[in-house]
Amino acid sequence: MSEHPRDRFDLIPDAAAEAAFLDAQAKGRLHHAWLLCGVEGSGKSTFAYRAARRLLGAAPDSSRGLLGTDPYDHVARMIAAQSHPDLLVLERAVEGGKVKKSISVDQARDLPEFFSKSPSQASYRVAIIDAADDLNLNAANALLKVLEEPPENGVLFLVTHAPGRLLATIRSRCRRLAFPVWPQHALEEMVRNRTGVSSAEASRIAGMAGGSPGQALALASGATLEADQLAQAWVAADQIDRAEAMAVADKFRGAEGQERFETLMDRLIAAVKVRALEEGAAGARWAELWTRLSELPDRTAAINLDRADVLAGALADLQRTKATAR
């Protein structure tokens, strides 16, 4: 499984965002709600945890960037262990081995109670919503009530990959911080330094990451590289090995299985998109396949489809496309 943002200390998401946050704090203008905007994997969640550590009293470590802290600091260790009483994190819950499709109103209702209490170990109480895009409508309205009456000594971080999808009334009550995509050379350097892969492999990974450091790190992990290689092999093969596909699908059970499924589908969709672009004007059938496959992950989660059946259907669709596109 990929590294959780609460466990990241050496990845510096965006120096400008960190400087803006520290400047607001130093001038006594620390906003009660921060909307962290950017593509998925651009460092927003990592920033939220870095800022939370500092607000909750972790000692600064400038060698790890403006908001850096020592991983062995007492506060940092409590946050990593998910045991700090002054930090509340809202994210999609896992139930029955599956990640739910949204953050529920019951989860969002924890916010008013959390902020009604005084900080027990720090100067602030901090909440991270990761991601605000996952709030269902009732949960979003519950959050809005908190934003309308800013909590004393409370700070919220709202991670969003698509701010335009949030309620305008939520956006208007937050200070916005943008997290731009990383240039290719910066991603290559980061991948080399953190994984030790060759320059050629780092360049390949950076090229697939779409400017996202989180995506680059995920791609550099063994499981994601394996999924990418498998997806490319399926797209290129004249005939897909059914036994191999069934063996892969057997690993789709539970929460870790869901992550494997989502990773494999992501890489399969990406490989089909590349094929469609390579085919140019003759790639209409590949483009249609890409559109169909792109809808599958969300539909699978929304109506609880069997992941193994979804993969089998996707590969059958891929095989038909290859047969008709020749």
pLDDT of residue 195: 84
d(C-alpha 108, C-alpha 105), whole Å: 5
Give the Cα separation of 146 and 59 in Å (integer).
29
Query: Considering the domain boundaries, does residue 53 fall inside one?
Result: yes
Q: Are residues 145 and 17 in the same domain?
A: yes
- Cα torsion 96, 106, 50, 171 to 10°: value is 130
Containing 201, the helix (H) or strand (E) segment is helix 199-208
| β-strand partners of 126 | 87, 155
Is 186 inside a domain boundary? no
Residues 137 and 280 placed together within one structural domain of the fold: no
Query: Who wins on pLDDT, 99 or 281?
Result: 99
Average of per-residue pLDDT across 184-193:
92
Q: What is the pTM of this model?
A: 0.76
Range of the domain at 61: 5-178
Q: Which helix (H) or strand (E) holds 158?
A: strand 154-160
Look at residue 73 in the predicted model and tell me its pLDDT.
96
> Angle at which helices 199-208 and 184-195 pack, to 10 degrees?
130
Share of the chain above pLDDT 90, in %: 72
Instruction: Tell me, yes or no, whether 231 and 161 share the same domain.
Output: no
Mean pLDDT value of segment 307-313: 95
pLDDT band at 207 (very low <50, low <70, confident <90, very high): confident
Domain-located, residue 183:
no
Give yes or no for residue 292 having a pLDDT over 80.
yes
Q: Which two tokens stand for residue 222?
A: 């063994």
What pLDDT is attached to residue 52? 98
Whether the pLDDT of residue 189 is over 70: the answer is yes
Report how far residue 223's alpha carbon sits from residue 254's, in angstroms, rounded to the nearest whole number: 16
63-89 pLDDT, tens digit each:
999 999 999 999 999 999 999 999 999
Going by the DSSP 8-state scheme, the letter that residue 65 receives in this structure is -
Q: Does 23 share its domain with 135?
A: yes
Predicted pLDDT at 2: 62
Q: Report whether pLDDT(1) > 60.
A: no
Evaluate if residue 141 carries a pLDDT over 90. Answer: yes
Task: Indicate whether 118 belongs to any domain.
Answer: yes
Domain boundary among 143, 178, 213: 178
> What does the pLDDT look like over 88-134, one tens digit per residue?
999 999 887 778 889 999 999 999 999 999 999 999 999 999 999 99
Tell me the mean pLDDT in the region 296-307: 89
On whether both 63 and 169 belong to a single domain, the answer is yes
Q: Are residues 104 and 231 in the same domain?
A: no
Domain harbouring 95, CATH code = 3.40.50.300
Distance CA 177, CA 299 (A): 31
C-alpha 271/C-alpha 228 separation (Å) is 8
Report residue 302's pLDDT band, with 50, 70 and 90 as the boundaries. Answer: confident
Residue range 3-58, pLDDT digits in tens: 789 999 988 888 999 999 999 999 999 999 999 999 999 999 999 999 999 999 99
- Is residue 213 domain-resident? no
How much is the pLDDT for 226?
86
Reported as a single tens digit per residue, the pLDDT across 226-261 is 888 899 999 999 999 989 999 999 988 877 788 889
* Three-class secondary structure of residue 98 per DSSP: strand
Q: Give pLDDT, residue 224.
A: 81
Average pLDDT along the chain: 92
Question: Are 124 and 227 members of one domain?
Answer: no
In a domain? residue 209: no
Residue 264 has pLDDT above 90, yes or no: yes
Output the pLDDT for position 308: 94
Q: How far apart are CA 239 and CA 303, in angstroms?
A: 30
- pLDDT for the residue 81: 96
pLDDT of residue 208: 82
